[in-house]
Amino acid sequence: MTSLLHFEDVALRRGGRLLFEGLDFLLARGELFQVAGPNGSGKSSLIRLAAGLLRADQGRVERSPLALADDNLALDRELPLRAALSFWGQSPDDAMDALGIAHLSDVPVRLLSSGQAKRATLARVLASGAPLWLLDEPLNGLDAQGTARLGQMLSRHLAAGGGVLAASHQPLPGQWHVLELGA
């Protein structure tokens, strides 16, 4: 597969409602795709479909190895942050440094603030080494410094040949192709 993510003639229904159909797009290495649209248009569902957590009603989805950052922290809340991140990758220290949370390495995950937890979730994605990142509302809970660090993280990921599909109501740092749902 030359692309990191390929949707071909994809349709998805949730709760008996058609969210989208005939969806075709290719996300190549070095590309950023932002899923936009009003609440209920299927942005988060599209991310979950791309992750393989939902099945398309029609069409085909091909994906490279991926890491998902959504509302689920996916870190053991009782472990110190570094130990919890170690489960997901080989370089938790580099990931914590990149997100500005290295000073929290010995703090149990359950004691992190919501902004620190969001940075920890992004550090988990970074530590994974996956070429495809799926980010659902990555700016929620981030302050200006966290947003700047996310921008730097995205730039390095693209330079290394990675790609990102993100759902967001807010403008994201970087140059994004926009995939509008519900328009």
Tokens 């990921």 appear where? Answer: 157
pTM of the entire predicted model: 0.93
Looking at residue 110, what is its pLDDT? 97
In this prediction, the residues of the chain whose per-residue pLDDT falls under 50 are: none
Report domain extents, the chain: 1-65+131-183, 75-130
Looking at residue 182, what is its pLDDT? 79
CB 138 within 8 A of CB 165: no
Q: How far apart are CA 124 and CA 165, in angstroms?
A: 16
Burial of 22 (0-12, 13-18, 19+ CB in 10 A): exposed
Looking at residue 18, what is its pLDDT? 92
Letter string b/e over residues 88-108, b meaning 16 or more CB atoms within 10 A of that residue's CB: bbebbeebbbbbebbebbeee
Assign domain 1-65+131-183 to its CATH architecture. Answer: 3-Layer(aba) Sandwich (3.40)
